[in-house]
Amino acid sequence: MIITLTPGAATLAQLHDIWAHEQAVVLDPAFHDGIKAAHALVATAAAGEEAVYGVNTGFGKLASVKIAAKDVATLQRNLILSHCCGVGDALDVATTRLMMVLKLLSLGRGASGVAMTTVEILQDMLAKGVTPVIPAQGSVGASGDLAPLAHMAATMIGEGEAMYEGTRMSSGAALSKAGITPIVLGPKEGLALINGTQFSTACALVGLWGAWRNAATSVLTCALSTDAIMGSTAPLQDAIHTLRGHAGQIAVARAQRALMEGSEIRESHRDGDTRVQDPYCIRCQPQVTGAAMDLMHFAARTLEIEANAVTDNPLVLVDDGLIVSGGNFHAEPVGFAADQIAVAISEIGAIAQRRIALMVDPTLSFDLPPFLTPDPGLNSGLMIAEVTTAALMSENKHLANPCTTDSTPTSANQEDHVSMAAHAARRLLRMNKNLNVILGVEAMCGAQGVEFRAPLQTSAALKSAMETLRAAVPTLAEDRYMAPCIEAASVLVADGTLAGSVDLPAFVKGDAT
């Protein structure tokens, strides 16, 4: 199915579906006239004598160099080829396609000055499965994601490499096999393609969606952990959280309370429990993970605005008849959003790891056997699984340090403050993978602990989650080769299967973004 997108009004839900299912897109035809009007204004400027940045001048520090009319096409081609300086592993296909969709949305606003043929080749590449190979490293997130977007543009002109039908090949070969003719870039078109925040924004969006799956799963795993240690649900009372007023905190408490409703384990110690308070990792889950969710909602709004933004330079203001240089390519909003998501990921993992430590520690776990094994001593149980989560928690803490504060001058000091949004966004993938494991291990520990409470049963909702887990990870009766179990549990977290096994409210799942 081909999705018709409205520039300036695309939603995160639409973009998620496009990313998840690798759908093709076209721009609403109502925006074609605006694209053509901006292109005509650029063509007029290119034919004139006045120097217009990006149309008939050099770039960056070389903006003062006037380019002859006969060399304008060569100027744009040279721009693309010279900026193909990316290094490192290639961006995955789904995120690359999302980046291309975001570039289409930006061009569709009619302020970039590109020809319709440039829009059409991007649409054709998405429809026919030609995906540029984009090295993931090389952008500092200002003056646009220059290197990554240059590799995208290179495929459009038949240079560089692309993926087609699962095979990596030259872009020329990929376009030929797909029946697509490479374009020749006109005035400003190369600059319009490589100026912009679409690489950083695409990576940040994928990081956001992964973080939401993790956050939702953490509500479930905390409920399991709470029942495993026979923890109290009193701190989940709605009145406590509404008195504070934070939406995330209220939503998490309600969701966890609903998940534990009907648990025999909980009812068995509701009266006469001598423990006054559970540790913070149990008692303060709504306050911590709820705050992380609030932060992610804010980041989501920033990224939705950016996904619909025009972020190249100069901009073509058709109504005013002007081509004006600005700074919309600076990805500071994206960098800030990615840094916020990183903090949220780190904190969700930090409190979850403490729950794991609580459950495996016989001095703290409220009558659970040491390391959750029925025969401790002969067996080590989940001892080192907890150590692994500690390692990943610590790694995420380091990765959560802000990237946007690490500006550095580039391009002979012409571009003297940059956002570092690209690697701020890229590191979210690694952080989410770490958190997948932490939450997977928490699910393993929580389920093991709940099983030790038999014949008392947990709630119907948590039973359903445990059945989903146990289909991939059997109960740990005696020591076995653990790595595949941890991997299987982390996959259930990563793909949303575990969270999807229970009914969670829209806010907790991130649907409200």
Tokens of 289: 């993970």
Sort residue 312 into left (φ over 0), alpha (ψ -120 to 50) or beta. beta
**Residue 53 is among the residues annotated as catalytic for this protein:** yes
Q: Which stretches does DSSP call E strand in 71-160?
A: 87-90, 130-132, 135-137
Consecutive H or E run containing 157? none
The answer to whether the CB of 3 falls within 8 A of the CB of 23 is yes
Query: How many Å apart are CA 103 and CA 312, to the nearest integer?
Result: 10
DSSP conformational letter for 163: E
> Rounded to whole angstroms, how far apart are CA atoms 513 and 209?
10
Place of tokens 């995420």: 396
The single-letter code of the amino acid at 386 is E
* Residue 162: strand, helix, or coil: strand
End-to-end CA distance of the chain: 24
Packing angle, helices 198-228 and 483-494, rounded to 10: 120
Cβ proximity of 359 and 408 under 8 Å: no
Q: Are 378 and 465 in contact (CB under 8 A)?
A: no
The 8-class DSSP code of residue 68 comes to -
317: β partners: 322
Identify the CA nearest to 139 among candidates 403, 396, 402, 316.
Answer: 403
Q: Which entry of 53, 164, 280, 481 is annotated as an active-site residue? A: 53
- Return d(Cα 47, Cα 56) in angstroms, integer: 9
Q: Under a CB-based contact definition with an 8 Å cutoff, are residues 350 and 435 in contact?
A: no
Phi (first) and psi of residue 183, to 5 degrees: -95, 160
Q: Residue 398: which residues within 8 A CB-CB, separation 6 or more?
A: none
Instruction: Retrieve residue 93's tokens.
Output: 């296909």
Q: What is the DSSP string of 69-95?
A: GGGHHHHHHHHHHHH---EEEEPPHHH
In residues, how long is the chain?
Answer: 513
* Helices assigned H by DSSP within 324-367: 332-360
Angle at 275 between CA 274 and CA 277, to 5 degrees: 150
Q: Is 237 helix (H, G, I), strand (E, B) or coil?
A: coil
Give catalytic residue positions.
53
